[in-house]
Amino acid sequence: MSYHSMSEEKPVAALRRALAAETDAHEIYRLARRADSVSFAAGRFEGVDSARETALAIRAVRRGRVAFAVTGSPGRPAALAREIADLCAMNERRPLRFRSNPVPPDEALAAHEHPALAGFAPADLAPELSRIVRRLRRAVPGAAVGIDLSRHEERIDLANSAGHSAGYLRRGLSAALKVDLARPGDLLELAVAREGASLDELDLPEAVDALAEKARRAARPVPFASGRMPVVFSPQALGDILCALEAGLSGMALALGLTPLKNRLGERIVSERFTLLEDPFLAGSYRSVPFDDEGTPVARRALIERGVLKGFLHTVESARMAGGEPTGNALRMKPIFESRDARARPRVSRTNLVVPPGDAKLDDLIAGVKDGLYADTVIGSFIGNVVTGHFSGNLWLGFRIRDGRLDGRVKNALITGDIYDILGPRLVALSRETPHPAEQRSARLPWCLADGVAVSCA
């Protein structure tokens, strides 16, 4: 694919001319989204959804003052540009400078296009999904089962008055398989989520087996006592509590003096067993980008290397405030939910995180725990004052470990801790295994055993 600049389109060109007349500098970010999905609920075909939307997010500078505006259409460009110029006057001076960044080569821009998905219609797969649903119903008798399959396509274009002009098209599939098992006094909701560029990659039959295995293990709740204990975190659970580390690595938290990692670059902050890499190019991940949402180039790099802090996540603004360089970590993400939103301002966001696996076999990690907890899924850790490193997450799915074996489901438990403590002196080992390649695409993590973790139970 050779890149076609949105500035060649008449409406956008007219808007850019109008902005150039009314302001001193400008940036236009356009997100054109198509999403089609098909859903089954309670084992039956439920319906289809289709969404189409294009939004333009404009940042403009006039006499040193910055304005932000979002619109669905560049119609009436002169009026829109005047309105944005008036909005600039409302803001304080802010030294935002747009950059003319190097544009990645076409093959990098095309890396996530997946042409085979261009004509893909999830509704056409209803018969095949119906077979998957029947398989899931047989595998988990008595459960209400469902599946959602979506195809999403996003075209992102960015152009600014410094001369930057680039865009890319991304397509992907996502699937969620769900199981609801309800008994008096016990509601169990389980799900497996997959991302990929083809149905084969999603590997839905394997997802059925994985979900059935979880349901089988979770059938029997067991009593559990509060205390400090060894906890084996699944990749998903580890990903949830890592929000406290991500908050500390934020360049904006650094610039505002809120992170405990301030002045600690080059110092050991966690165990030397722990390395955290950022990789913006991982195949199949929603967060993979050829450049960030300000046009800043992205690169693979180490954020933490053998426990030593190597870098922070910066936007253009946070870098200026903190006295550094932008690192390609400005994304327009909708809060809480994993999707892009042109209406969100570019904020500090990581792309994909990778924790290299360790040496320990997962079976050995679990076998070595006499009395402890296996945390499969933790939710809500991001709520609270997490920039300090302190987190508290609800155990959505977890299992007692007794004498080295998973031994029944633990309910009504909170896991609380300091992430620098959990990944620091309390970190025992990382597994050599990693999860199915279609799961946790944007956070490739191993299993993790930490000792002395605080678990509070009802």
Binding to other proteins in span 259-298, by CB under 8 A:
260
Of 230-238, 255-263, 294-302, 420-428, the segment contacting other proteins by CB under 8 A is 255-263
Q: Specify the residue, 130 or 198, whose C-beta has the smaller distance to other proteins.
A: 130
Number of residues that bind other proteins (CB under 8 A): 84
Of 6-14, 60-68, 358-366, 444-452, the segment contacting other proteins by CB under 8 A is 60-68
41 contacts other proteins (rule: CB under 8 A): yes
* Contact letters for other proteins, residues 152-171 (x by CB under 8 A): --------------------
Can you tell me which of 24, 49, 421, 451 binds other proteins, judged by CB under 8 A? 49
Can you tell me which of 241, 255, 365, 438 binds other proteins, judged by CB under 8 A? 255
Can you tell me which of 1, 11, 73, 300 binds other proteins, judged by CB under 8 A? 73
Tokens encoding 337: 């939910």
Q: Specify the residue, 172 or 280, whose C-beta has the smaller distance to other proteins.
A: 172
Cα separations in angstroms, 99 against 158, 162, 225, 331: 11, 6, 56, 16
Of 16-24, 159-167, 338-346, 440-448, the segment contacting other proteins by CB under 8 A is 338-346
Cα separation of 394 and 199, whole Å? 32
Can you tell me which of 224, 286, 396, 399 binds other proteins, judged by CB under 8 A? 396
- Taking alpha carbons only, the member of 1, 36, 221 closest to residue 111 is 1
Tokens encoding 9: 């389109």
The footprint of other proteins on residues 306-335 (CB under 8 A) is 317, 321, 334-335
Q: Specify the residue, 203 or 294, whose C-beta has the smaller distance to other proteins.
A: 294
What sign results for the dihedral spanned by CA atoms 379, 382, 385, 388? positive
Cα separation of 148 and 196, whole Å? 14
423 contacts other proteins (rule: CB under 8 A): no
DSSP assignment of 351-373, as one string? --EE----SB-HHHHHHT-SEEE
Residue 391's beta-bridge partner residues? 417
Question: Alpha carbon 310 to chain centroid distance?
Answer: 21
Cα separation of 370 and 178, whole Å? 32
* Contact letters for other proteins, residues 127-146 (x by CB under 8 A): x--x-----------xxx-x
Cα separation of 63 and 177, whole Å? 53
Beta strands 227-233; 353-354: pairing state: unpaired
Rg of the chain on CA atoms, in Å: 24
Cα separation of 325 and 317, whole Å? 9
Can you tell me which of 1, 5, 17, 48 binds other proteins, judged by CB under 8 A? 48
CB of 417: closest distance to other proteins in angstroms? 9
Of 3-11, 166-174, 283-291, 377-385, the segment contacting other proteins by CB under 8 A is 377-385
- Taking alpha carbons only, the member of 143, 84, 156, 72 closest to residue 113 is 156
44 contacts other proteins (rule: CB under 8 A): yes
Q: Specify the residue, 166 or 313, whose C-beta has the smaller distance to other proteins.
A: 313
7 contacts other proteins (rule: CB under 8 A): no
- Tell me the backbone φ, ψ of residue 34, rounded to 5 degrees: -125, 130
| Residues 6 or more apart in contact with residue 233 via CB below 8 angstroms | 241, 375, 378, 447, 448, 449, 450
**Polymer length of the chain:** 458
Tokens encoding 323: 């006295």
Can you tell me which of 21, 116, 182, 299 binds other proteins, judged by CB under 8 A? 182
Of 6-14, 160-168, 337-345, 420-428, the segment contacting other proteins by CB under 8 A is 337-345
Of 6-14, 51-59, 167-175, 191-199, the segment contacting other proteins by CB under 8 A is 51-59
Q: Specify the residue, 148 or 203, whose C-beta has the smaller distance to other proteins.
A: 148
Match 């209400």 to its residue by tokens.
144
42 contacts other proteins (rule: CB under 8 A): yes
82 contacts other proteins (rule: CB under 8 A): no
185 contacts other proteins (rule: CB under 8 A): yes
191 contacts other proteins (rule: CB under 8 A): no
CB of 362: closest distance to other proteins in angstroms? 26
Cα separation of 76 and 195, whole Å? 39
- Taking alpha carbons only, the member of 155, 136, 153 closest to residue 145 is 136
Can you tell me which of 82, 137, 301, 345 binds other proteins, judged by CB under 8 A? 345
Q: Specify the residue, 297 or 380, whose C-beta has the smaller distance to other proteins.
A: 380
Cα separation of 395 and 399, whole Å? 10
Of 120-128, 155-163, 307-315, 444-452, the segment contacting other proteins by CB under 8 A is 120-128
Residue 399's beta-bridge partner residues? 374, 409
